[in-house]
Structure 1
Amino acid sequence: MKKNVLGFNIFILLVFFIFSSCSDNSSEEFKNDLALGNMEQDSVVNNPDNGMEQDSVANNLDTPDNEPVILDPRLPADVDSTYVLTFEDDFNQLPGTLPNADKWQSKLPWGPSVTINNERQYYTDVLNGDHNAPNPFDFDGNSNLIITAGLNSPAQVETTGLDYYSGVLTGAQSTPYKDGYIEAKIWYEPGVAGFWGAFWLLHRYYDSPQDTGANGKRRTEIDWEFVRGPGGEFLGGPYDTDRIPVAYHYDDGQWSISGGGFKGPNGSPGLSVQCDGTVINNNKGVGPVKQPSGEDLAGAWHRYGVWKTDNFVKWYLDGILVASVCDPAIVSQIEMYPIVNIAIGGNFPGPPNPEDYPTSMLVDYISLWEPTVK
């Protein structure tokens, strides 16, 4: 009987010992877990990023991952945010090379044999092997195209019939578009008399049976014009580079909206409206564009943009809307393409001063954004 009692007591002691050990271990684990939990909580409180991550996880448990929409900072704020970059030339070529023939032509649709506006330059068509005048194109090795205009030699004057040479690039085969935003970043030299640089758009089917233009209006054109000179035969003046004319033309320029108003053949009046409701009539037009500070636009880099749809044309300077035409009845509803060039003299700027030449215009890029679904 004593044996049994002794054995039972020993058993009780063993059970108590095991239970105590387990309790001590559980207590320690609980303390450790509690301490770790407090550390994590403190970490969230003291590190807002952790809290943001926790909230982000909590709020997106059932939400699929979406790639963020990254907007090109060059696009003006009001331009359709669904547009995507469809064409770009950043002119990142070596000095001594020619423009990319897959992107550009170095001639206008009417070719060098037709002189318009009494201009005095010969556009050397270097991409088609023209050597009748100097090559006007080069690259500065810093992602800029250089277009140069200068005097022809006596032999070149005899061959071309013109006393100056210059360059033109057209995107007729690579960048025709109907709806989109296009922009060029350009620098040109101040104080050059007779200078007429431009970034402009021309109707894709110019002077062809398919040229139905803006709802039947033919030969449409949208212009940014960098002009310096005393003024031409019929367009007034003087012109200086603290302002830039913008213009919209159709029917081969017979109908034009510019700073001089909305005018048709023989000065006949037209009527349209800007997108802010401002009336465009025979007395009130669009432009010229000036900087708010009044400083010269020449001698500095600026971004010149055009947003065109079937309903309107809008001009942008450095991403800011500066002029518009909101009239589907006259806005071109067939594709247009960009052109960049330097003209010399003629009806608009007036005669050049030979001492001012050669002169150059630099182009950093030309870029086009279009809707994802055309």
Structure 2
Amino acid sequence: MKYIDEFRDGDTARLLAGLIHKEVSPDRNYRLMEFCGGHTHAIFRFGIVDLMPENVRFVHGPGCPVCVLPAGRIEAAIRLAESSDIILCTYADLMRVPAGKKDSLHKARARGADIRMIYSATDALAIAQANPERQVVFFAIGFETTTPPTAAVIRIAAAMALTNFTVFCNHVLTPPAMAHILASGEASIDGILGPSHVSTIIGSQAYADCCAQYRMPLVIAGFEPVDVIQSTLLLIRQINEGIHRVENQYTRAVSASGNRKAKALMDEIFELRPRFEWRGLGELPDSALAIRHTYAAFDAEKRFHMAPVTTTDIKGCICPAVLRGVSNPDECKLFGTVCTPEEPKGACMVSSEGACAAYYSYGRFRAEVTS
């Protein structure tokens, strides 16, 4: 494990943190948004926040795919699972995310709906092959990282002429969400730690227009602690110099153009939705994907005539504000009391990439020590 150890080396981390302390301007504050939930957990898990000067703050963004899915889409999936003789397949993180009326996929399964947790899109395809007499729906979610596997299983299902497999598509796109955050100005940020896995697909140049338009420095960062600290240093240098460009710290995995084969597959299977609702951000234009007409036979929304569902989050939950970067999880009155990972009231407490889950697992202990 030498390769990983190099990116978790304490001496290197302290050296980079020391450079940050030397290079920050004492008369200004630096608010840096980590756009990926994986970065949020790395920052807390490895104590990165404790290595930073007091005037360097990390702001959490809408980079958790489970968290940004609105409750209405989950409620629609629950209604489908309970009203039709289908097998609904989805990832484990989504099972306990609250839907309307304090419901969830987990609770619907307890009531008798055939809802199954899977580890990959191909698992859903295998279930469809093993149950030819049943309709199988894959509840697909995620940013550009998990979109190519969904596209692949749709193409495979088409080649196999499967008639019992469809996808409830909820894939969303990172650059439009980033542009919305910057356009609103609500979060008041000075730089962005760009997402890692997403960038392996779409490439570093996918953020160029956004950074230029909003004059925002962005550094694509890896997930390891040395990655995050080095990327923070690069952001601070950009801010101090008054420049705004896309830098790629995660060069071992991210290229300028990204994964061209994956992008071509996504373009073959999907097209832009005119509008899509995000939890916390509202309806954003051209920010999500729908299955193209060519593959409409594998679109669950069309096959089952799924109607849009409007519902509300649980009263008192500030997850939408956390996703916009305007509130911290510990500012929520529900946090750590009635809302815990075992009994989540908001989506941000459920996912392994959720900011509230990161605060609960690591941040609340830090608060107790420093208070």
TM over 0.5: no
Greater per-residue helix proportion: 2
Superposition TM-score, scaled by structure 1 size: 0.24
Superposition TM-score, scaled by structure 2 size: 0.24
Greater per-residue strand proportion: 1
